[in-house]
Amino acid sequence: MAEQNSIHGLWRSRWLFILAATGSAVGLGNIWKFPYITGENGGGAFVLVYLLCICLIGLPVMIAEVLLGRAGRQSPINTMTAIAKDQQVSSAWAGIGWMGAMSGFLILSFYSVIAGWALDYVFNTASGAFSGVTAQQSGEMFSSLLASPLTLLFWHSVFMFLTMAVVARGVNKGLEKAIQVLMPLLFILLAVLLAYAYTLDGFGQGFDFLFSFDFSKLSSESVIVALGHAFFTLSLGMGAIMAYGAYMPGNVSIGKTVLMVGALDTLVALVAGLIIFPIVFTNGLEPSAGPGLLFQTLPVAFGQMPFGIVFGSLFFILVAFAAWSSSISLGEPVVAWAVETLGMGRIKAAVIVGLVGWVLGIGTILSFNLWSDVTLFGKTIFDTLDFLTANIMLPLGGLLIAVFVGWKMRQNDVMAEAAMGNPLLFNIWHITVKFIAPVGIAFVLYNGLK
């Protein structure tokens, strides 16, 4: 393939790409979803299945998506248009780029609302609002937040502004600068909270829960959940990783870099579990508390423990930082496309994309209160957007990426762009992308639709 140049600039180093891609991957899924689905599916045995799914499906597809991004050097939409033309295949394959950018944009619209909850909880925890609360009171406080459209709108607005303020400044002045601050702070917060969790009486119990293997607690449903989460936690199929891959220097090994991103993403998820479960067990709470674990169960624990205000505030700052680092990667693909195709300046494109996402997010806000009885296909607006993206668009996008790289691109071009060096490793990865990953993703897609 002909050498392409990005008009948006390049990451200044391999490590900046690793931090950026890790920031995209590390989000609410790691700190909110991973601990509670681990709790619901029996702990350590589920973690093992999840790690296998990361290795067999998540990382191979991530390599393929970064490869496409670097080969095209443009927004996902224009990248796939250019590569389809270069490979002399149907222009319909450009749909991968459109689907990725649109799914990322739709996710951003409701992700901003959920991240706003974390911002609200930072201030509530710091003010001592959760001191001494019971489980019932904590649940009522969370319900009160969801019932207030104006409060949700305020935090949604703050978070969307923070996101687009970074995206508007471009790759080097915006994305890089934010990542260089956010990711080290996120790792420091993780380390501080992990050290605190280690001092708690329930640390040993939490460690055993996370790492002891009891396969009797695994079900076929657990495997489906692990497979789905392994795919979604790496931000695959939503345009973000392809967009970030477009800014990756040409002399960097994609395989080694993606392995590092996968390792850091998984490490954050495991450390989050080692923080959350000791707190849960120390306070006699239920580890399988479901989606309410973060916003209903943990505030009870922080409200009852020594220095709970300090460490509770740090925890929700950590959640907010993780959400912020992910959200900027969701906004980048559409903004990059607007700059390339419509000739807009970065700031104007970011303002327009942010405003449209903000307006769309109002539908999510109202689905928790005033429009809770308004349904599409039997689901609220939020549930519809979540189902459409998580169960259909992302796995379908990932499936098409695997099929395109595995079956439609010329193998010599794939080998040259991957630049793995070791032909055996390349062949193992290529076979995985051609055969194993598509089957696994199709399995996720089928069960999501079912």
**Separation between Cα atoms, residue 236 and residue 252, nearest integer Å:** 20
For the purposes of burial, counting CB atoms within 10 Å of the CB of 234, is it exposed (0-12), middle (13-18) or buried (19 or more)? buried
This prediction's pTM: 0.93
Domain assignment present for residue 252? The answer is: yes
In a domain, 7, yes or no: no
Q: Give the count of domains, the chain.
A: 1
pLDDT of residue 150: 98
Q: How far apart are CA 345 and CA 362, in angstroms?
A: 26
Residue 177: partners with Cβ closer than 8 Å, 6 or more residues away: 166, 169
Note whether residue 39 is domain-resident.
Answer: yes
Sign of CA dihedral 35, 37, 38, 42: positive
Q: What's the first-to-final CA gap in the chain, in angstroms?
A: 40
pLDDT single digits (tens) 265-306: 999 989 988 998 888 888 887 776 666 778 888 898 888 888
Beta bridge partners of 379: 376
Chain Cα centroid distance, residue 134: 31
The beta strand positions in 281-365, using DSSP E, are none
Q: Which residues contact 147 (CB under 8 A, 6 or more apart)?
A: 368, 369
pLDDT in tens, 360-409: 999 999 999 999 999 888 899 999 998 899 888 999 999 999 999 999 99
Residue type, 42: G
What's the chain's Rg over C-alpha atoms? 21
Q: For residue 119, tell me if it sits in a domain.
A: yes
User: d(Cα 43, Cα 359) in Å, to the nearest integer?
Assistant: 39
Residue 290's pLDDT is: 61
Cα gap 119→145, rounded to integer Å: 12
> Is 35 inside a domain boundary?
yes
pLDDT in tens, the chain (450 residues): 556 677 898 999 899 999 999 999 888 778 878 887 887 787 888 889 999 999 999 999 999 999 999 999 999 999 999 999 999 999 999 999 999 999 999 999 999 999 999 999 999 999 999 998 888 898 899 999 999 999 999 999 999 999 999 999 998 899 999 999 999 999 999 999 999 999 999 999 989 888 887 778 788 888 888 888 887 788 898 999 999 999 998 888 899 999 999 999 999 989 988 998 888 888 887 776 666 778 888 898 888 888 889 999 999 998 999 999 999 999 999 999 999 999 999 999 999 999 999 999 999 999 999 999 998 888 999 999 988 998 889 999 999 999 999 999 999 999 999 888 789 999 999 999 999 999 999 988 888 787
pLDDT at residue 387 in the model:
87
Q: Is residue 1 part of a domain?
A: no
Q: Three-state SS for 188? A: helix
β-bridge partners, 376: 379
**Cα–Cα distance between 254 and 285 in angstroms, integer?**
43
Mind giving me the DSSP string for 355-399? HHHHHHHHHHHHHTTTTTT--BTTB-HHHHHHHIIIIIIHHHHHH
CATH number at residue 362: 1.20.1740
What pLDDT was estimated at residue 291?
63
Spatial distance between the Cα atoms of 254 and 241, rounded to a whole number of angstroms? 12
Domain extent at residue 347:
14-449
Q: Which residues of 69-105 are buried (b: 16+ CB within 10 A; e: fewer)?
A: bbbbbbbbbbbbbbbbebbebeeebbbbbbbbbbbbb
Alpha-carbon span 321 to 332, nearest angstrom: 17
**Is there a domain that residue 74 lies in?**
yes
Q: What's residue 83's pLDDT?
A: 97
In a domain, 318, yes or no: yes
Among the listed residues 414, 406, 410, the one whose alpha carbon sits nearest the alpha carbon of residue 431: 406
Residues 6+ apart with CB under 8 A from 406: 64, 430, 433, 434, 435, 437, 438
